Amino acid sequence: MNTMWRNFRGRTVLSKAGRAFREEVQNIVVDKNIPKFGDSKLKITMILRPRDKRKTDIDNRIKAVLDALEHAGVFDDDFQVDHLEMIRGEPLKGGLLHVVIEEISNPHQTEGEHP
């Protein structure tokens, strides 16, 4: 997130790194044929596999990923995300963020609970 935005003439704008990240997400969405969820309520699970064992704040990734997925047209607005989970996995050389998006019918129902 620290490299996503820059101040330019008193305005906050998407940085060159931020634009490159959005473009990379867009390419992944197209290449992997990621479905479009429109305005459905969503559950998103992110599994971060850091590139090494250094300390890293996993919450810093969330906003950038949601904004990039919205910009790529995967969903209409990140307001639709009613369930969000971020998991730190084992380090992996080069790093990886695995994102699972699921449509949910009743956003207030928890797993194991029946209507």
Let me know: does 42 contact 3? Beta carbons within 8 Å.
Answer: no
pLDDT confidence of residue 111? 58
| Rounded distance between C-alpha atoms, residue 60 and residue 70, angstroms | 17
- How is the chain split among helix, strand and coil, in percent rounded to 5? 30, 30, 45
Using a 10 angstrom Cβ sphere, with 0-12 exposed, 13-18 middle and 19 or more buried, the burial of residue 69 is buried
pLDDT confidence of residue 65? 93
pLDDT tens string, the chain, 115 residues long: the values are 556 766 778 877 788 888 899 999 999 999 999 999 999 999 999 999 999 999 888 888 899 899 999 999 999 999 999 999 999 999 999 999 999 999 998 756 555 555 5
pLDDT confidence of residue 58? 86
pLDDT confidence of residue 109? 57
Let me know: does 87 contact 48? Beta carbons within 8 Å.
Answer: yes
